[in-house]
């Protein structure tokens, strides 16, 4: 079978660049590659797997002959251009929030609901990064003892706001330590040596957009409208990789040891839980990794059948680019085996 012709929409961003790295690392087969970005980047060169590609401006006519599009250029761009890609015959794996809650669009984490991929009508949505990092380790527990409720508190790296936010953290840290005034251009508050509520809009219920995404996306991915979720999302001065404290209430009892056994066998999870050395998941160690690290497994005695854990995962990899490529691997498994 012919290998797919693929395009990356938003190739110059942090996730677009990571997609290139993941495609090479996982040896994803392709016949041709088209790199798309805004007009500002058109004409620039990108080296990939020993070949130099010229970046093209993304337009409605960019998708002729393309089988697969990885889209990570922002929700408004996806809404504008994804329908043209689908009309041209491509399948779009979209890494923005544009289509996640569309009932016609599968929202997929391959470790959880790969069967939903087959229901696509041209677009498959990649979940929010915080949702992915929480749900990969929660799913094995949910399958075993059914999670009735969980509370998530996130510690989200600058990478979640893109490459420019990561650079702003670097610049602010240098300026602060040198005694120079700190400038804010990307994020609304100083990120260096500071912590603040996630920089997304607050809804009438008091939850910000990031928190609402986690709540709604979990229900859709788990196919469980009854699960109760509360989230508090926070931006922290970490360059890359998000961490989360998860407090879970289950229908049936589960001990930390039982959970550890389940998670040790779960795809995409690595146990990092050494109480003697006080050694648990850290963003420094999940950066550049695909596994979600899980630790601090303990009883949450504030509820019946309570379990608590701390997790960390690379927002740009498993939280975005790797998950998208894993979706494509399932979608085009015949090509991958050819």
> Active-site positions?
129, 242
CB atoms within 10 A of CB 337: 8
Q: Find tokens 């998670």 and name the residue.
A: 263
Indicate the DSSP class of residue 198: -
Structure tokens at 227: 């699960």
Provide the pairing of β-strand 147-156 with 228-235.
parallel
Distances (CA, A) of 160 to 84, 188, 199, 284, 317: 27, 14, 10, 15, 11
Structure tokens at 64: 């002729």
Beta carbons of 293 and 281 less than 8 angstroms apart: yes
Residue 121: burial class (beta carbons within 10 Å; 0-12, 13-18, 19+): exposed
Structure tokens at 232: 């508090």
Q: Which helix (H) or strand (E) holds 140?
A: helix 129-145
Closest to 143 measured CA to CA, from 116, 111, 108: 111
Name 93's bridge partners.
70, 124
| Cα(262)–Cα(147) distance, integer angstroms | 14
CB atoms within 10 A of CB 138: 27
Name 208's bridge partners.
202
CB atoms within 10 A of CB 148: 18
């Amino acid at each position: 079978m012919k290998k797919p012709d693929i395009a990356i929409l938003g190739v110059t961003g942090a996730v677009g660049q990571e997609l290139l790295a993941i495609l090479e690392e996982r040896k994803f087969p392709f016949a041709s590659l088209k790199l798309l970005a805004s007009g500002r980047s058109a004409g620039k060169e990108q080296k990939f797997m020993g070949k130099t590609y010229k970046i093209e401006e993304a337009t409605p006519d960019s998708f002729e002959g393309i089988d697969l599009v990885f889209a990570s250029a922002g929700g408004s761009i996806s809404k504008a251009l994804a329908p043209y890609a689908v009309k041209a015959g491509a399948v779009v794996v979209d890494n923005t929030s544009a289509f996640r809650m569309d009932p016609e669009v599968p929202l997929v984490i391959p470790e959880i609901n790969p069967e939903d991929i087959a229901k696509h009508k041209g677009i498959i949505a990649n979940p929010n990064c915080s949702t992915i990092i929480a749900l990969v380790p929660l799913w094995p527990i949910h399958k075993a003892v059914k999670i009735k409720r969980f509370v998530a508190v996130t510690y989200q790296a600058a990478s979640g706001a893109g490459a420019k936010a990561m650079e702003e953290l670097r610049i602010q840290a240098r300026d602060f330590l040198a005694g120079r005034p700190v400038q804010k251009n990307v994020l609304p508050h100083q990120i260096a040596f500071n912590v603040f509520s996630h920089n997304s809009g607050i809804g009438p219920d008091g939850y910000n957009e990031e928190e609402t995404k986690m709540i709604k996306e979990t229900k859709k991915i788990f196919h469980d409208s009854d699960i109760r979720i509360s989230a508090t999302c926070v931006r922290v001065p970490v360059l890359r990789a998000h961490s989360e404290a998860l407090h879970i209430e289950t229908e049936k009892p589960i001990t930390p040891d039982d959970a550890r056994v389940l998670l040790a066998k779960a795809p995409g999870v690595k146990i990092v839980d050494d109480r003697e050395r006080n050694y648990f998941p850290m963003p420094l160690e999940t950066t550049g990794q695909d596994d979600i690290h899980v630790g601090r497994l303990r009883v949450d005695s504030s509820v019946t059948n309570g379990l608590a854990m701390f997790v960390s995962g690379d927002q740009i990899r498993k939280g975005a680019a790797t998950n998208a490529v894993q979706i494509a691997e399932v979608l085009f498994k015949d090509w991958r085996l050819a």
